Structure 1
Amino acid sequence: MICPICGEKTRREYRPFCSRPCADRDLGKWLNGSYAVPSDDPEDLERALDEIDDAQQKPH
């Protein structure tokens, strides 16, 4: 099995990763929103557009 983060061979104690750092990087991607499941729900789209509008109106 190959680590999905770096491509190295996996180790049993970290499977499906090769090491703790790769497992932690994957967790970080989940926590910061890099991994997301797309939605076709119109309410989700409307909410996202509202959040973009709100962010653009805030002073930097």
Structure 2
Amino acid sequence: MTRSNDPSNANGAGKGLTVPCPQCQQPVAWTTENAYRPFCSKRCKLIDLGAWADGSHRIPGEPHMDETELDELIDRLERGE
């Protein structure tokens, strides 16, 4: 993450923290006036949301078990297998 408190930062905000937009990497002023922070725009925010919704962005972990698989696992454990 790029941070800048330099008054000559790329977005022209003049002060405060500047971070790259997670979607397009454009410098974004981290201010209360920016309703889309850390994104530069509503468009970038919606693109990112869509990526989470379609599974493109996901947090690694164990595969999801459906109820049938879970019941079978419990049965095997109860039988001592």
Which TM class, normalised by the smaller chain length?
A: 0.5 to 0.7
Unmatched 5+ stretches in structure 2: 1-18, 67-81
Residue 15 of structure 2 is matched in structure 1 by none
CA contact (8 A) 1:10 1:16 kept: yes
CA deviations on 1:17-44 (whole Å, 9 max, x unpaired) are 00000000000001000011111x4xx2
Query: Over aligned residues, Cα RMSD in angstroms?
Result: 1.9
Residue 22 of structure 2 is matched in structure 1 by 4
- Aligned identity (percent) is 39
Q: Which has the higher helix share?
A: 1
Runs of 4+ in 1 over 6 A off after TM superposition: none
Residue 37 of structure 2 is matched in structure 1 by 15
SS of corresponding position for 1:10: strand
Unmatched 5+ stretches in structure 1: 48-60
Q: Which has the higher strand share?
A: 2
Distance change >3 Å, CA 33–CA 15, structure 1 → 2: same
Count of aligned pairs between the two proteins: 44
